[in-house]
Amino acid sequence: MTTGLRPAVEPAAGGPPTRPSGPAGPPRGSGAGAAAVAGAALIALVGLCLVHVTQGTAGMGPAEVLDVLAGRGSAQDAAVLSDSRLPRLLTGLFVGVALGVAGAALQSATRNVLASPDTLAVDAGAHLAIVAVAATGVALPALLSGGLAFVGGLAAAAVVIALSGAGGHGSGGPIRLVLAGTALALGLHSLTNALILLFTEEAGSLFGWGGGSIAQTRAEEPLRFAPVIAVAVLALLLAARRLDLLGLGDDASQLAGADPRRTRVFAVVVAVLLSASAVTIAGPIGFVGLCAPAIVRLLASRVRGLGRHARLLPISGLVGAVVVIGSDVAIRAVLGAQSGVEVPTGTVTTVVGAVFLVVMALRMTDTSVNAPGDALARLRSGRTAALVIAVLAAVLLGLVAAGALLGDRMLLLGDLANWVTGRSGPTVTAVLDTRMPRVVAAVLAGAALALAGALIQAVSRNSLADPGVLGVSSGGGLTAILVLTAAPMADSWLVMGAAMAGAVLTAVAVFGLAFRGGLRQNRLVLIGIAFSAGLMALTTVVIVTTDPFNQAKALTWLSGSTYGRSFASVVPLLVVALAAVPVLAAARRELDLIAVDDDHPRVLGIGLPRARLVLLGLAVALTAAAVSAVGVVAFVGLVAPHAARGMVGARHTRVLPAAALLGAATVVLADTIGRTVIAPGQIPAGIMTALVGVPYFALLLWRSRPTAR
């Protein structure tokens, strides 16, 4: 599999996929074109800054700002400018420059045009470190918090680079890095959300900040990090020639007297320092480090000399500042001054970055078109498969019993038997009337997500795809949250209908874009990840603007929780699951053929478009029903089908029941642990499944990592 970008960014022999010129390296040029690009970016930035300082909740327009700057303004206007607007502007400038330069350095170090603080999980690692400290109730100085964020971000980047094989001869291409970074970031965000939920008093205020907010009340905070950012940018500029040589390949770099490994490590460390500084100041502001340098690199294919790092790095910083300040201006221009205070700037940059990632995915070339899958690669005897399925069913029954008996109040099997026969006492009845709907919801949701994942993996022929990675769960979650915030007492059918609409629209967009011109595995996953990030950012906007006093409730639901479920609330999910059974039974052989290639189904007379439409529609329905019942639960749709294929072989007659049992058991176990280990406190099931799913996902990537030449 090879991946690249058009135009003028496909990898040469030993060179990075992001190099904007030919094999000989970036042209020297006079720099006039680069200067013109820098001048245009600077003019745009100045114009945005002038608009930015005139926006705000106080009645202080351009005339009042000019009066203050001229020394004629009132003391109140001067205080607004110095204590609110200028600190916010400085924060946006510093953060934009830091992320833009960091993204450019990471792309060069990893030889991957999709590398950024987001896709390497640097922001997620730094965010977790800061929230973990806040959860302890200890207030640390800003620079010390930045140091902890640096450690967290560096550890996350090291893991992602190791899993993806980025930067070395055996680089796995853009898709592996994005997959590894997305998976690790999801796990780290789950830990972060768990800390916020468990320590609401100490860390609850960090929810909005976690979306990336440049709102500041003092200029001292961003100014503390100004020297750190300046020194880091200067260090990268001094290493510009070595980064240029790194772009020519390790052999050329060594011949020129530069150590490529040392250069790569230096660039990553300094880029993480810049990213950690930005996160400490303003929280994780998404995709700036991806968009800014990628825009400059695309321009470098047309502007002579722009690809040299002495120009690429500072111009990427300028463009990063333009993206951040422009996003903040857009928030307050479109939503109003008050919404500009409530809505984190990072949500806008994430939506913009998601669109940019979709565009880049559509420009990708991918030689994996219609590549044969591994659908029939591993066979198991019928007796072995039957035994495995029987064992899984027994395990699920045991977990259901444990889920009914364990919790903040421990019960006995006799209590459960009495409840089933209607002879239990009032206390036991009250406990099990509350607990059993949660267990049933977990069983049905886990099975539905596992079946949806198996269908998506078969149709896309991508064993790393699932409803969460492809954004279907996020689409259903967004529309369900819209209904829950607008009508908190909405019944389960209305919530499921909303989730169904969001999931269907997302699936149509993702699969429609990805299947243009044939099945593109890499394109599908990249577009899905982009949609997932953008939709989650929009969900954050909905929460902070419509339900600011009930964020814990929404966050719990988004983390995947069975809390407060009743038997009536799981009826829609039960109906969809029962309706799916005969369809899956009839389509099991078609799934086997579709999972291999496009030719076999056509030879045997199977209408491939129709079959794909039906199967993907069923996967979307199952996902939406699960989301409406328990919220967004991650990784079940990935782990369960993959593990099932390893246990019973790849024939879907066996995979589907095994995956359903594994998915149900996973969610029941996660829900039981989540409401038992810290009882009476609770950890949402979705957080627990992510903590299990991330290591499994990492193992899959590690086992399939590219080997060095």
**pLDDT number for residue 704:** 64
Dihedral, CA atoms, 348, 350, 351, 353, nearest 10 degrees?
120
Q: Which residues contact 576 (CB under 8 A, 6 or more apart)?
A: 448, 621, 622, 625
Judging by beta carbons within 10 Å of its beta carbon (0-12, 13-18, 19+), is residue 12 exposed, middle or buried? middle
pLDDT of residue 14: 36
520: three-class secondary structure by DSSP? coil
Residue 149 CB partners (closer than 8 Å, separation 6+): 125, 126, 127, 129, 130, 276, 277, 279, 280
Residue 142 pLDDT: 79
Q: Return d(Cα 697, Cα 350) in angstroms, integer.
A: 24
For residue 119, give Cα distances in angstroms to 103, 153, 263, 416.
Answer: 10, 12, 21, 47
Where does residue 160 rank: exposed (0-12), middle (13-18), buried (19+ CB within 10 A)? buried
Do residues 172 and 164 lie in contact, with contact meaning Cβ atoms separated by under 8 Å?
A: yes
The CA angle 181-145-197, to the nearest 5 degrees, is: 65
Which helix (H) or strand (E) covers residue 366, if one does? strand 364-366
Tracing tokens 């954004």 back to the chain, one arrives at 471
Chunked into runs of 10 residues, the chain (709 residues) has average pLDDT values of: 36 37 43 87 93 79 75 77 85 94 91 85 89 79 86 90 63 67 82 76 63 75 89 94 82 76 91 92 88 89 86 94 92 76 82 85 58 45 84 94 86 86 86 90 94 87 76 85 78 81 87 72 79 86 68 67 82 90 86 71 66 84 86 84 85 90 92 82 81 76 58
Instruction: Please say whether the structural domain 34-59+87-364 has been given the CATH code 1.10.10.10.
Output: no
The domain ranges of the chain are 34-59+87-364, 382-703
Whole-prediction pTM? 0.79
Instruction: Write down the H helix ranges in 210-259.
Output: 220-238, 240-246, 250-255
Distance CA 353, CA 98 (A): 16
List all residues 6 or more positions away from 424 whose beta carbon is below 8 Å from its beta carbon.
415, 418, 432
Please give the Cα distance from 262 to 269 (Å, whole number). 11
Element (H, E) at 87: helix 86-110
Three-state secondary structure string covering 300-322: HCCCCCCCCHHHHHHHHHHHHHH
Q: Give CATH for domain 382-703.
A: 1.10.3470.10
User: Residue 94: its pLDDT value, please?
Assistant: 94
Distance in angstroms (rounded) separating the CA atoms of residues 118 and 81: 32
Reduced to 3 states, what is the DSSP secondary structure of residue 292? helix
pLDDT at 695: 80
First to last CA, the chain: 15
CA dist., res. 672 & res. 660, Å (int):
18
Contact between residue 243 and residue 105 where contact means Cβ atoms under 8 Å apart: yes
Can you tell me whether residue 4 is helix, strand or coil? strand
**Token reading at 440:** 């049933």
Confidence at residue 20, expressed as pLDDT on a 0 to 100 scale:
36
Same fold? 34-59+87-364, 382-703: yes
Q: Which residues share a beta bridge with 365?
A: 4
